[in-house]
Structure 1
Amino acid sequence: MSPKIRPRRRGLRIAAWSLVMVLVVAAGLAGVVLWQNSYAMDEQRVSIRHGGHTLNGVLATPKDGRKRHGLVVYIHGDGPVDATHDDGYKPLWEANAKAGYASLSWDKPGVAGAPGNWLEQSMDDRADEAVAAVAWARARPDIDGHRIGLWGASQAGWVLPKVAAKTPVSFVIAVSPAINWLRQGRYNLLAELRADGASASRTKAEIAKSDTTRRLLARHATFEEYVRAMGGDADGMTADRWGFISKNYTADATQDLRALRGVPVLLALAGHDINVDTADTERTYRKVLDAGGALTVERYPDAAHSLLKQSIEQSDLKTTLTALFSPRSLFADRFLDGQRQFLEDLGRGSNASP
């Protein structure tokens, strides 16, 4: 064989083996992703009729062989959220399933092809929607109607007690809920300015802009009036969003929380929350609910507002990689176990509703 051909063939063999190794590693990584994103529960798409239209939902049930399960009904926070929250709810649903509970969630109106527009909803509209979902669940033979509770995050803090005032619930898990819309907005503004290292002049200008917005809301100004008041710069505000804020800016959960007296409530608060004043939230929940002894407050020092680890949430790359290869690790330490434990304790009667 010519000595000039051997190195060429050797190079081809090396290239071939390199390609094989790349394919093996890629297949291995794909396998890890599939394994890590497989959850110990069954999921099915469901349809719930409400107000002349359909809620497109997902029902996740435990694989424990039981014919009936308790249920956790999910109330979303702000934004265009689909039933699974882009699969972000699934680790939570799995924790519920381990405790013997099913989970129910649905696309917000206008999201993922669902009819309607969530920006046209008031907090009362959202509560009515959840009440319809609870009624639908109570009619199912595989759901224990005496063990249906609510899970809600952030903006859902204004919805959860409204639901409880309209239909009996067995428990509530409130994650980073706010109390007063306007106070929450001001807290968030100042916290973000501090995080950005804003100058005193910028802070003063942003507060003045916020005060102008409040005055416009108080006199029921139109979106066009808002844009003119902002000097023609809507800064991301849309007509639909302005309408949504106008419907809901007076929201305050303080009085509504009385509907949760005697109901076991798990209040989960983040240590790095720049969206919600957790001290105000805890103080109000304790003032209204502590007397009945059914309130449990858990703080997660390593968590951001979403109850994801702050160290992960601060980086889009870390969030993406963790979601792919270890989605349960996205959440603050003890959060998933704490939710599971709360539900298991309900089953043992340690926090049973009277």
Structure 2
Amino acid sequence: MCPKIQPRRRGLRIAVWSLVPVLVVAAGLLGVVLCQNTYDMDEQRVSIRHGGHTLNGVLATPKDGRKRHGLIVYVHGDGPISATHDDGYKPMWEANAKAGYASLSWDKPGVAGAPGNWLDQSMDDRADETAAAIAWARARPDIDGDRIGLWGASQAGWVLPKVAAKTPVSFVIAVSPAINWLRQGRYNLLAELRADGASAARTKAEIAKSDTTRRLLTRHATFEEYVTTMGGDPDGMTADRWNFISENYTADATQDLRALRGVPVMLTLADHDINVDTADTERVYRKVLDTGGALTVKRYPDATHSLLKQSIEQSGLKTTLTALFSPRSLFADGFLDGQHQFLTDLGRGTDATP
């Protein structure tokens, strides 16, 4: 005769078995996340010496069995960005690897334990840093020194041509680059006000505040003067950020872009960019670089400044879920394929012997 099951034990068994479907689903979702965030390339941490300190980098290489690869050196946009951009670069690195190119990136100074402070850097400092990374890469036996190019986003638009003036590069992929720091700032201000549905009074007040900031920058005002002028409210501005802006606010890429004449350049622009006036950027790039036919312009109608799909970026939940379950789908349709095709076209005619 079977013993009676006590009510408490029976309830425990029911609870355990009711959890089984949940655990199965959770395991399945975890498997999807792991699969979708596994990329067809090899990654290794690297250290690059520059200016008495170390750049903490990541080198991603194709798994194609070849002994040497071309290389794309990544130049970050604004902000405290890590080598992988919190894994946001990895879908691009995978596309590069499929085209036979390695990818190199590093933590900005002060980010992820790296020495220094990225807010202490000028655009020339960033260009020197990138040129040092290229020199390091050229000394490696697994990198083809004749096939090293640059990828840069947003603020990198002021860095890329400076790098090309310091060291030869084979190509440049410029993503959402601005031309003039002050024009870009005013465009961004007005675009955000429009997006917020700001009243005429608020718009007038914000423009006046911006004009005051420009006057302070022009006369090299200190951070303390800025805070005092703003009535004691820095509104998120820090001393380091003020010094960074003071160092770089005169940046303008127009003249520097001449260093890219004759270099294959892919200019990538988004139609929903509220950070950069893409019409101004395209006009200047075409004026300076169109002669000789080395410029390719790609526009993505559903993309934001970061080249993510607008419908995804507008929702934090959508962005998080897509990053987890389908990270390659974050980007605007055709963006990854467009970069892959550009690289593939560059590679035609080169020696692909392992």
The Cα of 1:61 is off from its aligned counterpart by 0.1
The residue that corresponds to 2:15 in the other structure is 15
Query: Which runs of structure 2 are paired with 1:267-346 in the superposition (5 Å)?
Result: 267-346=267-346
Q: Secondary structure at the match of 1:78?
A: coil
TM-score, normalization: structure 1? 0.96
**Counterparts of 1:191 and 1:226, CA distance in 2:** 24
Which amino acid counterpart does residue 155 of structure 1 have in structure 2? Q
Instruction: Show CA shifts across 1:102-138 (max 9, x none).
Output: 0000000000000010000000000000000000000
**Counterparts of 2:288 and 2:203, CA distance in 1:** 34
Which amino acid counterpart does residue 257 of structure 1 have in structure 2? L
The Cα of 1:13 is off from its aligned counterpart by 4.4
Query: Which runs of structure 2 are paired with 1:73-112 in the superposition (5 Å)?
Result: 73-112=73-112
Alignment partner of 1:27 is 2:27: yes
**Counterparts of 1:119 and 1:207, CA distance in 2:** 25
The residue that corresponds to 2:216 in the other structure is 216
Structure 1 unaligned segments of length 5 or more: list them. none
**Counterparts of 2:5 and 2:72, CA distance in 1:** 69
Runs of 4+ in 1 over 6 A off after TM superposition: 6-10
**Counterparts of 2:25 and 2:240, CA distance in 1:** 47
Which amino acid counterpart does residue 93 of structure 1 have in structure 2? W
Structure 2 unaligned segments of length 5 or more: list them. none
Identity %: 89
The residue that corresponds to 1:188 in the other structure is 188
Q: Secondary structure at the match of 1:299?
A: strand
Query: Which runs of structure 2 are paired with 1:89-238 in the superposition (5 Å)?
Result: 89-238=89-238
The Cα of 1:275 is off from its aligned counterpart by 0.1
**Counterparts of 2:236 and 2:295, CA distance in 1:** 39
**Counterparts of 2:256 and 2:5, CA distance in 1:** 84
Which amino acid counterpart does residue 113 of structure 1 have in structure 2? G
TM-score, normalization: structure 2? 0.96
**Counterparts of 1:14 and 1:158, CA distance in 2:** 64
The Cα of 1:11 is off from its aligned counterpart by 5.0
The Cα of 1:15 is off from its aligned counterpart by 2.4
The residue that corresponds to 2:39 in the other structure is 39
How many residue pairs align between the two structures? 350
The Cα of 1:16 is off from its aligned counterpart by 2.4
Which amino acid counterpart does residue 184 of structure 1 have in structure 2? Q
Q: Secondary structure at the match of 2:17?
A: helix
**Counterparts of 2:6 and 2:84, CA distance in 1:** 57
The Cα of 1:17 is off from its aligned counterpart by 2.1
The Cα of 1:245 is off from its aligned counterpart by 0.1
Which amino acid counterpart does residue 166 of structure 1 have in structure 2? K
**Counterparts of 1:85 and 1:313, CA distance in 2:** 16
Q: Secondary structure at the match of 1:170?
A: coil
Q: Secondary structure at the match of 1:74?
A: strand
Instruction: Show CA shifts across 1:328-350 (max 9, x none).
Output: 00000000010001000000159
**Counterparts of 1:286 and 1:166, CA distance in 2:** 22
